[in-house]
Amino acid sequence: MEFAQLGRTGLKVSRFCLGTMNFGPQTSEEDSFAIMDKALELGINFFDTANVYGWKLGEGITENIVGRWFAQGGGRREKTVIATKVFGRMGEWPNQSRLSALHIREACEASLKRMQTDHIDLYQMHHVDRNTPWEEIWQAMDVLVQQGKVLYVGSSNFAGWHIAKAQETAKARHFMGLTSEQSLYSLNDRMIEMEVIPACKEYGLGLIPWSPLSGGLLGGVLQKIKAGRRASDDMKKKIEKKHASLKAWEKFCKDMGEQPADVALAWLLANPIVTAPIIGPRTMEQLKGSLRAFKIKLNKDAMKEIDAIWPGPGGEAPEAYAW
């Protein structure tokens, strides 16, 4: 396994982050435990979850599964860099969501209890909260850091200017601020190249791409459907819209002798700003198979051909749309 420092921090994390969103809704607890054990065995030390995962209001199903896995001991907690999130609705009362100081405090305590740990390594804001001032957010996070309950703070789904505002406000408080941004990023979703990635570079944030296969679109979807796999109506619409690109993409990967999912992950790993794409295996086979991406090296000609199939926004702003 390859490792990288998380942004400008001294924290070393594996270059794959194990996403746990399927644990509970799609993957049984027993299988989830086996996948997490195997991930550690393979050298993956970076796990991502969220208090809302499990998708039953206020239950924190996935965090509870992670907590029961930690409780087995054997160095599981000590070997794992655990990242979770705050923002989503965890109850019906008005302060049980978003980023008020009250909710940050209560959500952190609840996540610690569910995961049976005394600290969260990376506490991520799941979305920007336009109704809460940064002074309030950073005061709440600063208290958690001073108490030792949170070590690093990250963001998710922030725009570039949100990152800038957050960091400048943190700087005024002599607080480290954000250490990472978790964004939607894949060959099919490259809009963050305009402003989010430049902001991450400027402020020294690690980039953690979520949905690196664009919901399965980049994982050989045409060949899977041809083999008889049924696609959802939503996926069928995406395939119809992107059919020409998908046909060229899967041919490109076939000519390389590689699986499309592995090449899509390799493309992300080749970007120096990317710390660790989030892989969300439902099965052990998916987990082990994804490691092939580390063996794939894309030269300049390959990268140029990939850009032709999946063009980005044209570079960074403002040159992407102006002179």
Known catalytic residues are: 53
Residue 5 burial by CB count (10 A; 0-12/13-18/19+): exposed, middle or buried?
middle
Q: How far apart are CA 124 and CA 245, in angstroms?
A: 34
DSSP string spanning 122-133? EEEESS--TTS-
Q: How far apart are CA 84 and CA 126, in angstroms?
A: 9
Residue 155 burial by CB count (10 A; 0-12/13-18/19+): exposed, middle or buried?
buried
Q: Which residues contact 42 (CB under 8 A, 6 or more apart)?
A: 1, 287, 288, 291
Nearest to 155 by CA among 194, 91, 199: 199
C-beta separation of 85 from 50 below 8 A = yes
Determine which helix (DSSP H) or strand (DSSP E) holds 31, and give its type and residue range: helix 29-41
- Three-state DSSP at 82 gives strand
Please state the separation of Cα 96 from the chain's center in Å: 23
